[in-house]
Amino acid sequence: MKKIGILTSGGDCQGLNAAIRGVAKALYEEAGGDVEIYGIQNGYRGLIHGDYKKMKQSDFSGILTIGGTILGTSRQPFKEMRVIDNETSIDKVKNMKDNYRKMGLDCLVILGGNGTHKTANLLSEEGLNVVSMPKTIDNDVWGTEMTFGFQSALNIATQVIDGIHTTATSHGRIFIVEVMGHKVGWLNLYAGIAGGADIILLPEIPYDIDKIAEVIDKRERAGKQFSILAVAEGALSKEESAMKKKEFKVARANMKYPSISYKIAEELGDKTGHEIRVTVPGHFQRGGSPCAYDRVLCTRFGAAAARLIMNEQYGFMVALQNEKIVPVPLGEVAGKLKKVPVDCEEIRAAKDIGISFGD
C-alpha cells in the first residue's frame, strides 16, 4: 500500500485541480488501487498544523476544468520556516516532519512556485520523500520551460488587451493595462505581444518615461491616435533600478499611487498632455477554468510525478524541457528565478516589429 500526501502552496492558478487529478488518477491506475491519498489543507500550513484528510478516489473526478484548488492554499514564507514561533513555540519544520510520519507517507507531492520549491527542497534535505510540480501564472520557476497556469492567465491578459484595444481605437486614447508579475515579466511580455501592445514595460528592462512619451508622440505624428501600454506589476524606472534594494522598498512603500501603472499614467499625462486610462485585471488573471494547453500539461506533469513515485525516485520536480517531461533535482530548482533574458528571441521579435520597451 502506497500512502501519498498532496498539497498546493502559494498563490493559486488555473490547472491546480487538473494537476492534482492527473497525479491521483495515475497513482490509482499504476498502483492497481493499492494507494491511499491524503489531501493536506491550505498548503504547508496544513502540514504544520496537522490539517489533512484521507481522500476518496471519487474526490479526484470532475475537477479537471475547475479553477482554484480543492485542497486550498496559503503563503508560508520560506524565510520564516525555520523561525520558532515565540507565542506558540511551534517548530514548523519539526511539525511538518512529524505529520508526514503520522500519516505514514511514502511521498509528499507538492504543487507550487518559487517560494514553495525552496521549502520542498528543505523538506527533501530533511529526509522526506518529495516530488513536485511547477505552478504559477508567472512562468518563472527555474528548470522548466513552462509552468502550468501561465497559458491560461496569458489568454485572459490577452483578452483584456484586446478589449481595451477596441475602446482605445474608438476614443483615440492612451491606455495602460497592468499585467501580473512582480519580479518577472513573462506574462506581460507574451500578453503584450499577443495583444498587439505598442509599449511593453517589464521588471527586467527599466524604463525611461521620456522615451515612452517620445514613442507616443511619434505614433501621433504618424496618424495613430491611440496607444496601448502593457505594464508589468513590477515594472520600474531607470531611476528606481539605480536605487539600493532597501531604498527602492521604501520608495515603493511611500508611493502615493495604488500601483506603478498609475504613476506612469500621471507622469505620461503631464508629458504628453493626454488623459491616460489604467485597467488592472489583477487576480482575475489567475481565476477560472484552465485552458486546453494547461489541462494537457497538468495531465502530463501529474502522470510523470506518479511515475517517479512508483519508481521511488524522490527529490525531483517534473519539468518541461525540449517538449519532454523530465525530472529536475529540487536542489537545482530551489532559490532560483527564471527571469526574462533581455536578449531573448521574443523581445528581439517584438523590437523588430516596432514595439518599444521604454528603454
Positions in the binding site for ligand F6P (CB under 6 A):
11, 113, 136-138, 180-182, 233, 286
Bridge pairing between strands 107-112 and 2-8: parallel
Distance of alpha carbon 89 from the chain centroid: 32
Nearer of residues 252 and 271 to ligand F6P, judged by Cβ: 252
Nearest partner of 164 among 261, 273, 292, judged by Cα: 261
Nearer of residues 219 and 286 to ligand F6P, judged by Cβ: 286
Nearer of residues 134 and 302 to ligand F6P, judged by Cβ: 134
Q: Smallest distance from the beta carbon of 180 to ligand F6P, in angstroms?
A: 3
- With 0-12 / 13-18 / 19 or more C-beta atoms within 10 angstroms meaning exposed / middle / buried, residue 197 is buried
Among all chains, which residue has been given the C-alpha cell 528565478?
Answer: 337
Catalytic residue at 138?
yes
**Among 12, 138, 140, 198, which one carries the catalytic annotation?**
138
- Per 3-state DSSP, the chain is made up of helix, strand and coil in percentages (nearest 5) of 45, 20, 40
Q: Which residue is nearest to ligand F6P (CB)?
A: 180
Q: Smallest distance from the beta carbon of 13 to ligand F6P, in angstroms?
A: 7
- Distance CA(120)–CA(124), nearest Å, equals 6
Nearer of residues 128 and 176 to ligand F6P, judged by Cβ: 176
First to last CA, the chain: 58
Nearer of residues 27 and 141 to ligand F6P, judged by Cβ: 141
Residue 343: CB partners within 8 Å, gap ≥ 6?
none
Q: Smallest distance from the beta carbon of 128 to ligand F6P, in angstroms?
A: 24
Residue 18: CB partners within 8 Å, gap ≥ 6?
63, 64, 65, 148, 290, 294, 295, 298, 299, 302
Q: Smallest distance from the beta carbon of 120 to ligand F6P, in angstroms?
A: 16
Q: Smallest distance from the beta carbon of 331 to ligand F6P, in angstroms?
A: 22
Residues forming the active site: 138
